[in-house]
Chain A
Amino acid sequence: MTENGKPKEPLLVVEDLQKHFPVRSGFLVERTTDWVKAVDGVSFSIDEGTTLGLVGESGSGKSTTGYCVLQLLKPTAGSVRFEGRELTSLKAGEMRRMRRQMQIVFQDPYSSLNPRMTVGDIVSEPMEVHGIGNRKTRRESVRQLLDVVGFDPTFTNRYPHEFSGGQRQRIGIARALALNPKLIVCDEPVSALDVSIQAQILNLLRDLQRDFGLTYLFIAHDLAVVRAMSDSIAVMNQGKIVEFGEAESVYTDPQNEYTKALLTAVPVADPRRQRERKAERRRLKHALAEGF
């Protein structure tokens, strides 16, 4: 609730978002023969300081949704409102200013960092682009940012290839934090990492959310990882959200058949329990046989 008693609008509101990609074919004269509806009428909202987990299998449209939210891909139709402002109709310059508030952490820390730039340059680049501070204050900010994400700030003059996947992802997170954003889209931020490192990064993301009041759109295919991070969950399948709800209820009492199938397909690290789950999975598979 705001001071005047009106309910506060969520930080991000997405309504009937669509992204269609053309399928072109023909020799010499190419024509659009069909459309792939990668995102096909997706609506959700995220309250400030909370996490929405967007989960689905490959090709479900979850990453495309994330890119459309940030206007990194232009949506075919629909509305994306950030703090009440419609993003889809903004001009390029206005959108660039808005991006200070909304950043992204990518999946692959091996290909998302420029190998020719030092760690310090990578983290300070967003501040340069947006004309924040001078060389000296930026250097100090870089040290602070790296310190916050648990990366040794004495390594600012090194290059990304000298570091492991987990350390690189810390660099990527520091860069995302550099402009002090409100919303961070995390696109599969731990799926390239080993389990022991994955836990470090997930804990870091949660600490940062607590300390800076960040809002996350957390995109991942790993259902257990999404559960550990999210307040609410949206399950995507074939470009549509098939189930949306408070995280615990989606996991303990899924309503949609696809959600159920997805949940029972995940093997859990408990051999006794997994035996029961396997039986349940096979039962469900037979029940769903025509559905898929």
Chain B
Amino acid sequence: MALLEVRELHTYFSTREGDVRAVDGVSFDVERGRTLGIVGESGCGKSVTALSIMRLLPQPPARIVSGSITFEGKDLTKLRERELESLRGQEIAMIFQDPMTSLNPTLTIGTQITETLRRHLGMDGKEATQRAVSLLEEVRIPNAKARLKDYPHRYSGGMRQRVMIAIALSCNPKLLIADEPTTALDVTVQAGILDLLEELREEHQMAMVLITHDMGVVAEAADDVVVMYAGQVVEQASVLELFDHPEHPYTEALLGALPSLEGTGGRRARLASIPGRPPDLLDPPPACRFAPRCQYANLGDYCTVEPPELRELRPGHWVRSAHPASERAAVAV
């Protein structure tokens, strides 16, 4: 059994104009000790998926309409707030995109780390301080003992994200959810954080859900990948399989739209853009959500009438499209 199993998750937000179907059919497994990358563009529902797992969405306006989130046999959608509180931080921890705003500017770094230790592990002041120093050392913050007394503004963006990671790791969680952990950082700083996450994940034998919009970050850090579009999982495979044989027209288009850093191309290569933009999730297309932008979908086609199911094209490779690449090739021959 996988560490985390998400099945047919639907999370909606009620607004005056009706329900925004932010997450509308998301299923995936996170295996122990592995990294699952969730990739997609703004508004595709990747962060709402993460917040649904942590049950951190304010209800209302958000509500989990249906589906299950099973973590080590417990369905998180059915837990009470008190049970959730002991789970968050201890079993599942989360780090966020913006290390500038996720720390309290009026408390020292030391206070913010020891708070978690006292609360979840019941440590006393001295013990917690010692542990805080070793945590900062673990995330490679030089001169850790002295820096415990500093306030967040004395830390750079990369250092703050290291502090967030230290807090997240303080209770040895089994699962770390990292929501765009390097998006606000410069590339050289990003590289350091990705290296750190990889080392710590191995040391602590954690599983990780890495949410990102950056295909490069996925290629570097993920073992398995889920591609999301307009609230749904459209493709899922191991990282090598996904980049070697992308099946969904959206995944193909997304990879084609990336300017390349290496090899030929450069200045003269025209980028393959995707026409149009993602649908309004108040009123998404009735069938395939990518159909209006898909170059293979013709009007009156099956996929503009019936919503395609997520189906297993090859072992471990799932796709939600009537026109996956391998089937198009077969027709063309």
Contacts and interface: CB of A to CB of B under 8 A. Distances in A.
A118 B254 CA distance: 32
A274 to B, nearest CB: 5
Contact of A196 (B214, B216, B254): B254
A273 B42 CA distance: 27
Nearest to A58: B186
Contacts of B187: 57, 221, 223, 262, 265-266
B240 A271 contact: yes
A38 to B, nearest CB: 16
B274 A196 contact: yes
A75 interface: no
A230 B260 contact: no
Interface stretch (B97-105, B125-133, B263-271): B263-271
Given A199-B272, A202-B271, A203-B271, A274 B220 contact: yes
Contacts of A225: 259
A195 B272 CA distance: 11
A178 interface: no
Given A202-B271, A227-B261, A274-B220, A267 B188 contact: no
Contacts of B274: 196, 199-200
Contacts of B266: 227-228, 247-248, 251
A51 to B, nearest CB: 8
Interface core residue of B42, B220, B269, B272 (most chain A CB under 10 Å): B220
B240 A196 contact: no
A136 interface: no
B191 interface: yes
B273 interface: yes
Contacts of A251: 261-262, 266
B260 A196 contact: no
Contact-residue bracket for chain A: 35 or more
B41 A268 contact: no
Contacts of B214: 267
Contacts of B262: 251, 268, 273
A231 B268 CA distance: 10
A262 B271 contact: no
B172 interface: no
B269 A195 contact: no
B311 to A, nearest CB: 24
A271 B188 contact: no
Nearest to A228: B259
B267 A268 contact: no
Contacts of A263: 261
B127 to A, nearest CB: 34
A285 B275 CA distance: 40
Contacts of A199: 257-259, 271-274
B267 A227 contact: yes
A231 B267 CA distance: 7
A274 B216 contact: yes
B257 A195 contact: yes
B213 interface: yes
Interface core residue of A198, A228, A285 (most chain B CB under 10 Å): A228
A41 B41 CA distance: 39
A194 interface: yes
A230 B277 CA distance: 26
A194 B42 contact: yes
Interface in B135-163: none
A251 B266 CA distance: 9
Contact of B267 (A198, A230, A262): A230
Nearest to A272: B240
Contact of A269 (B42, B258, B275): B258
Interface string B229-262: 0000000000110010000000001110111111
Contacts of B259: 199, 202, 224-225, 227-228
Interface of B: 41-42, 186-188, 190-191, 194-195, 213-221, 239-240, 243, 253-255, 257-262, 265-267, 269-275, 277
Complex A-B, nearest 9 residue pairs according to Cβ-Cβ distance, in ascending order: A267-B216, A228-B259, A199-B273, A269-B215, A196-B274, A194-B41, A199-B257, A199-B271, A57-B186
Given A228-B266, A231-B267, 5 more contacts: A57-B186, A195-B254, A225-B259, A247-B267, A266-B187
18 contacts: A195-B215, A195-B257, A196-B254, A199-B258, A199-B259, A199-B272, A247-B267, A251-B261, A251-B262, A251-B266, A262-B187, A265-B191, A267-B190, A267-B214, A271-B239, A274-B219, A278-B220, A285-B191
